[in-house]
Structure 1
Amino acid sequence: MQPRIPRQPAGDQAAHRSEGDAAGLSAELVAVLTGARRRSLRDGDRQIDTAHVLHSLLESDPEVSAAFAGEAQVARLLGYLVQRSIGYGLRWQGTVEDSGAVPVVSGAEGYSPLAAAALEHARARAARSGDAPARGLDLLVAVVADPQSRAVEVLTRAGIDARELFLRIEAAAHGLEGDLTP
């Protein structure tokens, strides 16, 4: 009997794919993606989606955590992300995260179309700013850019305005604000 939810490849295939995913990403961001991959496998999800990426970014990157409005907001957001595997996130199992607003990125096996597009967006953002390789904030901006992403749904449930977060990070990156505090 075949499993209901196809599993991501393990072992050597996943390690080889991770090497390809790493092009244009900082070592810290590669570690974040490894954490997101582990989380998706543990949750029984078909693919790494933007909520997996957001969860791993929050746990691993202090610069990303600092982009939010204080520790209470981060704690509330982490609470919703943890609930994902035991509550409302179960409805996502067996489905693919795809808003239809972004083209499918080839060569990003194991990622939802939105998560794959976010990786490409993060690489391009870092290259445009001359700050390559991509870092956590580059990927955070990318995962909150599409209002149909699961990351944005989680942010909304936690009472965080994804558009405001996006604009605040972008303003700070362009020197329009002194820091990321709201």
Structure 2
Amino acid sequence: MHPRTSRRSARDQGVLHADDDAGLSAELAAVVAGARRRALRDGDRHIDTAHLLHSLLETDADVRAVIGDARKVVRLLGYLVQRSIGYGLRWQSSVEESGALSFLKGAQGWSPVAAAAMRHARERAGRRGEDRARGTDLLAALVAEPQARAVEVLRRAGVEVTGLLARIESGTAEHVGECGPVR
């Protein structure tokens, strides 16, 4: 008989900080919570940009609208689901880093690139004069880093990343409302 042990949450393990959600809209805080659950469930040591992208696509209609093409959103989710069940893109044994951001140390529980993306999303909202970052702020931060795993997934799904960043920056999306909630 094996002794009973309780599973410690990521927070109990000291992996996440209490102020991780500071400066985030309620919607983006839900995205971060989803990314945390996904990383923990998948056995990943760090929340990375692919976790964040997956959660953004599932929960944020504005992000799906910026992607524009519902088929690309479905393809993106397909790649991300394959990764979470152990197929497709295999990153679980490594920490997501970027040459450009290698000097940055990620917050505990976050890959350095994901931690930088969260900071950049907050800064982007601040430049717009808002206190809270939104999903499109995080998407812009994710696609601005060419070495991010999220960018690799976007490219594999046929999303033209430069055009995506331009649409986010201009604040326009041709197909707003075309991609409804993911069920």
**Percentage of identical aligned residues:** 58
Partner of 1:43: 42
Partner of 1:3: none
Q: Distance in 2 between matches of 1:9 and 1:148?
A: 29
Task: Tell me if the contact between 2:124 and 2:133 (Cα under 8 Å) persists in the aligned partners.
Answer: yes
Q: Distance in 2 between matches of 1:137 and 1:41?
A: 24
Partner of 1:168: 167
Give the aligned residue type for 2:122. Answer: R
* Structure with the higher helix share, 1 or 2: 1
Partner of 1:10: 10
Give the aligned residue type for 2:114. Answer: A
Q: Could you tell me the TM-score, scaled by structure 1's length?
A: 0.84
- CA positional deviation for 1:69: 2.0
Evaluate the alpha carbon distance shift between residue 98 and residue 16 of structure 1 in structure 2; reply closer, same or farther with a 3 A threshold. Answer: closer
Task: Tell me if the contact between 1:48 and 1:112 (Cα under 8 Å) persists in the aligned partners.
Answer: yes
**Higher RCO by CA contacts (8 Å cutoff, separation 6 or greater):** 2
Q: Distance in 1 between matches of 2:22 and 2:130?
A: 14
- Is residue 180 from structure 1 mapped to residue 179 from structure 2 by the alignment? no
Task: Tell me if the contact between 2:16 and 2:108 (Cα under 8 Å) persists in the aligned partners.
Answer: no
Q: Distance in 2 between matches of 1:58 and 1:16?
A: 22
Q: Residue by residue, what CA displacement relative to the aligned partner does 1:136-180 show, whole Å, maximum 9, x if unpaired? A: 1000100111111100000011011112101111012xxxxxx31
Q: Distance in 1 between matches of 2:15 and 2:78?
A: 30
Give the aligned residue type for 1:134. Answer: A
- CA positional deviation for 1:131: 2.2
Give the aligned residue type for 2:140. Answer: V
Q: Distance in 2 between matches of 1:20 and 1:117?
A: 15
Give the aligned residue type for 2:88. Answer: Y
Unmatched tracts of structure 2, length 5 or more? 1-7, 176-183
Task: Tell me if the contact between 1:68 and 1:181 (Cα under 8 Å) persists in the aligned partners.
Answer: no
Alignment of 1:17-166 (within 5 A): 17=17, 19-85=18-84, 86-89=86-89, 91-102=90-101, 103-105=103-105, 108-166=107-165
Q: Could you tell me the TM-score, scaled by structure 2's length?
A: 0.84
Give the aligned residue type for 2:55. Answer: S
Give the aligned residue type for 2:170. Answer: A
Partner of 2:4: none
